[in-house]
Structure 1
């Protein structure tokens, strides 16, 4: 698995997280998501590790007054989903001391954005989200940054732990083991065509052309988890990347299939999702930075 040189940085996010080193407890609330979110989770765990925050991280649990709360990155703070909104509402109710939203897409939710104050740090992974948050969260700290997966160190992910050791950890978590075995079975069906092309299109609520593509090739939909265990995030991310690495040319409207393909140096044909996050992330983080990448509107 070979990664291309990636110059995309997360400087503002790293600076904000470094300020948490004096806190003995940091409540990290992962976002329940698909296999693409597993890449985000693996990148988050790597970031916490690099910044020396692992010993302070407590996953999940009840939000209490005065807590420092980090909510994971993704596309959860939009009207179609409720988890990010619920966590932010709970943080407001409990009067937390600081809240950090890792790089996200943000749409709608104007009412709760208007309630946020200087304790809230919103990291937006594309310009439309940034402008929306700036307009409505006028008292919060709003930053334009990049999706966390752009900061994923593929070499470290591949070398950190022996994959067989990772799999052994699953024996201690029967629910995760069952889901993992289903994931492995699903991956067996995802192979490139004879010309090296792999078409991986979404079939869920964010699909622009629902019903057009076979569901068995929507790799991201084949696993879901909170990724509260680092070993699971690493394992799913590594196998996600290994599956993509079989192909020479990847065609997808899945954001994290597209990002991962770019990081692997694949030829990539990228399409938009239903509400424009792919196009916006492409413009903010990918256009002109990666070779062999084409964004198509139709």
Structure 2
């Protein structure tokens, strides 16, 4: 798993749906130490944006898996930097690239591995199925209200029909508006194990469904808002993954989503 915020819950929820759909049995690892002990296994590494110089978890995990002759499959990811790691990968490695800059980068620095151009897994989420599944979670509505009130000083009624600013903080931030802003990926950070992932994904979707418009530079707040059909104004994050994924995966299929501002990636898209 790729531990993180509610955006990672959204990815994880979609991933578990795909595992169920294709009858894939998985054993969930929870530490690098467990990975170090694996030998001759097929290991799926969760999708996301962890394989960039800002973070070290995914690169450390890949290095831990390499000595065990494991088949490594990196689910749709953004990749920047990490040139030495890419060059060290065994030919049996597969990296699914969730945008064009990643695909070009991996092809340039790991030409012997399998590099597939794909899409962020959260875009495959069956939202109807998720909502149906969550009907049996008697606590979810109360939990949604409690987390909103405790972490954002908001109620669901305060969101309903309102334009909401949901710009990110942290190392990937670009700017924080002076107006009230709610980094809801942190507000609904709950975990990525199956039950936690479904809850975090549901809360992210429910927030965006209630709002009349979402402005964000959080990729998965934008994805949740896109899936909810809410009018969405996307801005880029610090290294360009948001604009890259918008151009590759969202621009044509989500008319409710538009991109604003500068594209931060060092690539020009026709």
TM-score category (smaller protein): 0.7 to 0.9
Query: In 2, distance between residues paired with 1:83 and 1:134?
Result: 22
Residue matched to 1:83: 57
Q: Would the alpha carbon gap of residues 136 and 95 (structure 1) be closer, same or farther in structure 2, given more than 3 Å must change?
A: same
3-state SS, counterpart of residue 76 of structure 1: strand
Query: In 2, distance between residues paired with 1:141 and 1:213?
Result: 45
- If the length of structure 2 is used for normalisation, what is the TM-score? 0.86
Moved more, 285-294 or 138-147: 285-294
The number of aligned residues is 254
Query: In 2, distance between residues paired with 1:83 and 1:215?
Result: 32
8 A contact 1:187–1:243 mirrored in 2: no
Q: Would the alpha carbon gap of residues 190 and 200 (structure 1) be closer, same or farther in structure 2, given more than 3 Å must change?
A: farther
Structure 1 spans left out of the alignment, 5+ residues: 1-29, 168-176
Residue matched to 1:41: 12
**Which residue, 163, 166, 171 being the options, matches 1:205?**
171
**Which residue, 14, 22, 27 being the options, matches 1:57?**
27
Q: Does 1:277 align with 2:250?
A: no
8 A contact 2:77–2:98 mirrored in 1: yes
Q: Would the alpha carbon gap of residues 296 and 190 (structure 1) be closer, same or farther in structure 2, given more than 3 Å must change?
A: farther
Q: Would the alpha carbon gap of residues 215 and 247 (structure 1) be closer, same or farther in structure 2, given more than 3 Å must change?
A: closer
Structure 2 spans left out of the alignment, 5+ residues: 263-270
- If the length of structure 1 is used for normalisation, what is the TM-score? 0.78
Backbone CA RMSD of aligned residues: 2.4
Query: In 2, distance between residues paired with 1:213 and 1:93?
Result: 50
Query: In 1, distance between residues paired with 2:82 and 2:166?
Result: 30
Residue matched to 2:85: 112
Q: Would the alpha carbon gap of residues 259 and 161 (structure 1) be closer, same or farther in structure 2, given more than 3 Å must change?
A: closer
